[in-house]
Amino acid sequence: MQQFSLLLTSLPDGILLGFVYGLAAMGLTLIWGVMNVINLSHGPIIALGMFGTFFLFMRAGVNPYVGLIPIAVVGVLLGVLIYVIAVHRVINAPHLSSLLATFSVNMIIIGLGTAALTTSPYNVDFSAGSFKIGPVTLLGTRLIAALVTMLFTGGLYLFLYRTRPGKFIRAVANNRAAAELMGVPSTRILALSFGLGTMLAMVSGALIATFFPFSILAGGSYELKSFVIGVLGGLGNPIGALFGGLILGVIEGIIPAFLETSWVPVIEFALFVLILLVRPSGLFGAKK
Amino acid sequence: MALLEIKDVTSGYGDVQILWGSTLSLEKGKLTSLVGGNGVGKTTLLRTIMGLLPPWSGTITFDGRDVSRLPAYTKAEMGLVLVPEGRQLFTDMTVLENLEMGATSQRARPHFARNLERVYEMFPRLKERSAQKAGTLSGGEQQMLAVARGIMADPIVLIIDELSLGLAPVLVLQLFDSLKLLREEGITLLLVEQNVQLALAISDYGFVLAEGKVELEGPARKLIQDKHIRAAYLGL
Ligand SMILES: Nc1ncnc2c1ncn2[C@@H]1O[C@H](COP(=O)(O)OP(=O)(O)OP(=O)(O)O)[C@@H](O)[C@H]1O
Ligand SMILES: [Mg+2]
């Protein structure tokens, strides 16, 4: 009975968190799907999103949800910049080169971030109230974050399937040389895709900042979750990423009712390995 | 003056040189064939013309303009269009989306509706399958789509690499008929073919590539009677 009441608080919480995990993973998986690059700077970029919320809200008083707009814009620009500087030159090289390139970006952001912000925790002191539905209490920040995630997922889907640049992204992901022959400037499209992936990561970080304290190193665990989700949902599949995130959220919501929370990563990664073994293309299929 | 002129072009992959000074030209409104054995560099030459591979030396002139160093994506805008070897469709996208992608360039966009009607008329099968993923089409349907996508680009010069490869004879004849149609509409065509007999039979002019160089050229009617060609490529 006590477990049941624990579950009533932890499961809805986990599910709402799962949305945001899914949003972070969408950024990783979009980049992988379009250009077959595993972005090892994903974690620090998420952390930059967190600091975006911190500075906009705590220092400038901007509402965290309004703050998502400038953070998203900066995310696209930062992603384009990272692509142009670090990724483009290794885009046709073996995977190890792009892993090293994005890992270097990872180290640079963490290095500069540590120098400027230290690694001690920051906290965004923001509350959006809470909602009671029967015995279940939902935190306003998590509820809004889940809504924002749905908005971004729907927006990304419409962008990829209904707009011209979105179709260009899918065409370049599918067959870059053919897209180029049709008149698509593929380098620009790759840069845009990296920008969008970075934007999604930063926005997820900006939302997470309203839940937990964080430091410049805080993105690491979300990066790992993004890998697990990518494998769950099928790397390269943005909608699969949302479902993968929700599955992870459910797991994180159930475990605390039965086991120590320290079991969470163990079970997540056991799942990761299991799926790689039995269904390497992910539960929802991937593009390749 | 020729519409497309390739002069002394050399190119290759890494350190491996494949083209050793290829020279050929396309006359406006004509159907030209480029034939040659496997691995002599036909596809490499086309990739170099399109800018997918940089030429090491030599010049490529299109409509009087030096286009040797222009990136591939600018070629479609000029009306220089390649239907690549192996179809290279957007397999995860629908038939209609593939056709839309064909009409990416500014020059093709205003004519989208007209060209779509044209290719659906040419290949009614594609109209029936317009919502189907290109990757799930049969081999023949995929080849139709590859050609149709090229036509959607509203080409001035349409280059087709291996039109007939792996297709049933009936379909090959049908596709060759559509080429004649395109020529009547004034499109300049360059056809790279394994089926030398058939290619030369409908072409106006022909080039034979061997070891990365044009070994022989002439009016297609003449080439088809050439002893060397009959022995080497027609097995006669
Ligand atoms: N990407 C590549 N990297 C290295 N070598 C290549 C590459 N593509 C082709 N080659 C080599 O270049 C040579 C010419 O190839 P190409 O594809 O141009 O021949 P082709 O005339 O089109 O032949 P086919 O009639 O079989 O299509 C071949 O020896 C091939 O192995
Ligand atoms: Mg070839």
Domain-wise residue ranges, chain A: 2-118+131-278
How would you classify residue A85: left for phi > 0, otherwise alpha for psi between -120 and 50, otherwise beta? alpha
- Using DSSP bridges, classify how beta strands B57-62 and A130-133 pair: parallel, antiparallel or unpaired: unpaired
State how far residue A131 is from chain B, nearest Cα, in angstroms.
43
Q: What's B1-79+155-236's CATH class?
A: alpha beta
Residue with tokens 């002893």, as numbered in its chain? B227
pTM above 0.90, yes or no: yes
* CA B209 – ligand 1 centroid, Å: 13
Mutate to test the interface with A, among B85, B90, B111, B112 (most CBs of A within 10 A): B90
Residues 6+ apart with CB under 8 A from A134: none
Integer angstrom CA distances of residue A53 from A80, A191, B30, B31 = 21, 25, 64, 63
Kindly indicate the confidence band of residue A252, based on its pLDDT and cuts at 50, 70 and 90. Answer: very high
Nearest CA to ligand 1 atom 2: B13
* CA A145 – ligand 2 centroid, Å: 53
ipTM: 0.94
Outline where DSSP puts E strands in chain B. 4-13, 16-26, 31-35, 57-62, 65-66, 80-83, 157-161, 188-192, 205-210, 213-219
In chain B, ranges of CATH 3.40.50.300 domains = 1-79+155-236
User: Mean of the pLDDT values across residues A100-126?
Assistant: 96
State how far residue B51 is from chain A, nearest Cα, in angstroms.
9
DSSP bridge pairs for B183: none
Of all residues in chain A, what percent carry a pLDDT higher than 70?
Answer: 98
B102 in contact with A, Cβ within 8 Å? yes
Task: Please say whether the beta carbons of B196 and B164 come within 8 A.
Answer: no
CB contact under 8 A, A168 and B89: no
Kindly indicate the confidence band of residue A287, based on its pLDDT and cuts at 50, 70 and 90. Answer: very low
* CA B35 – ligand 2 centroid, Å: 10
Cα distance between residue B80 and residue B61, in whole Å: 11
- Using DSSP bridges, classify how beta strands B4-13 and B16-26 pair: parallel, antiparallel or unpaired: antiparallel
Average predicted confidence (pLDDT) for chain B = 94
User: Mean of the pLDDT values across residues A17-36?
Assistant: 96
User: Mean of the pLDDT values across residues A76-103?
Assistant: 96
State how far residue A35 is from chain B, nearest Cα, in angstroms.
15
Could you give the count of Cα atoms lying within 13 Å of B207 in the half-sphere of its Cβ?
A: 22
CA A126-A131-A137 angle, 5° bins? 100
Question: Residue A288: its pLDDT value, please?
Answer: 44
**Fold of the A2-118+131-278 domain:** ABC transporter involved in vitamin B12 uptake, BtuC (1.10.3470)
Nearest neighbour of B153 by CB, restricted to A168, A182, A287 = A182
Per-residue pLDDT at B204 exceeds 50: yes
What the block records as the tokens of A176 is 């870059």
CB contacts of A176 in chain B (<8 Å) are none
Task: Specify the higher pLDDT residue, B230 or B222.
Answer: B222
Per-residue pLDDT at A89 exceeds 50: yes
Least confident of A201-205, A282-286, B15-19, B185-189: A282-286
DSSP string, A137-162: EEEHHHHHHHHHHHHHHHHHHHHHHH
Cα distance between residue A210 and residue A52, in whole Å: 11
